[in-house]
Amino acid sequence: MLEPCVNQAAGLQSLALQQVPRLIAVTSHGQQQGELPLLWGLCTSWVEMGLSVIVLDGHATETVDNPGLAQLLSNPLNRPAEDASPMSWSVMPATQGLTSLSVHGFLTRSVAELFKAYAVVLVYADADCLAQLLRGCALAPLVVVPPSQTASITAYRALKQLLVNGRLQPTVANIVVDSNTMMPTPSSSPANNVMNCASNHLGYRARALNITASAQADRSQNDINRLAMQLLESAIRLEHQPMGRVH
Q: What element of type H or E holds 9?
A: helix 4-17
Query: What DSSP designation does 77 have?
Result: G
Residue 244: count of CB within 10 angstroms of its CB: 12
What confidence tens digit (pLDDT) does each residue in 48-76 have? 999 999 999 999 999 999 999 999 999 87
pLDDT at 18 over 70: no
Q: Which domains does the chain have, with CATH numbers?
A: 4-237 (3.40.50.300)
Model pTM?
0.84
What confidence tens digit (pLDDT) does each residue in 113-169 have? 899 889 999 999 999 999 999 999 999 999 999 888 788 899 999 999 999 999 999
Residue 21: count of CB within 10 angstroms of its CB: 25
Q: Is 98 helix (H, G, I), strand (E, B) or coil?
A: helix
